[in-house]
Structure 1
């Protein structure tokens, strides 16, 4: 099954869920719990739309960083101890390490 077929199947399932939540809402009223479930289904719809857009953009965009975001490599080497000079004065508590 292609990814497009999978997305279509998910969309159909989500449509069924939205209809079911609508029926529940008609029976139970628009209480807080039903509104939360309705909100969740709306978020799922938005997420599915974003996923479909990403899939349509092609493999170069999938799994990577958003546009304009650059990957930065951070070294595993220890930091220079001079970076921490004077840092003992910046924390909570007092100088002797015991709170007042």
Structure 2
């Protein structure tokens, strides 16, 4: 099965689960336990929706363009007025 087929199968199973929870709620009433089961099933449905979106991949508008970083070294004069952070100054030694 493909990912799309698996997601569709899970979606159908969740629909069946929610229908069963509704029937069960009508039979035993709307206590705390059944509300928790309903809430959990609804959270599963939301999570499945997020999973479906993630499986489809980012839309073209969400894709970031690749940025090429040159391998040429930076000009050393850019760093003459700074210390090596965390290492102290070049002319001093750690205790």
TM range (shorter): 0.5 to 0.7
Shift in Å at residue 57 of structure 1? 1.3
Distance 2:44 2:7 in 1: 13
Alpha carbon RMSD of aligned pairs, Å?
Answer: 1.4
1:56 is aligned to 2:56: yes
In the alignment, structure 2 segments of 5+ residues that lack a partner are: 63-95
Give the TM-score normalised by the residue count of structure 1. 0.57
Distance 1:28 1:40 in 2: 18
Distance 2:10 2:20 in 1: 15
CA deviation map 1:57-90 (0-9, x unaligned): 16xxxxxxxx9xxxxxxxxxxxxxxxxxxxxxxx
Residue of structure 2 equivalent to 1:2 = 2
In the alignment, structure 1 segments of 5+ residues that lack a partner are: 59-66, 68-100
User: Of the two structures, which has the highest relative contact order with CA contacts closer than 8 Å and spacing of 6 or more?
Assistant: 2
Distance 1:16 1:24 in 2: 12
**4+ residue runs of structure 1 moved beyond 6 angstroms?**
none
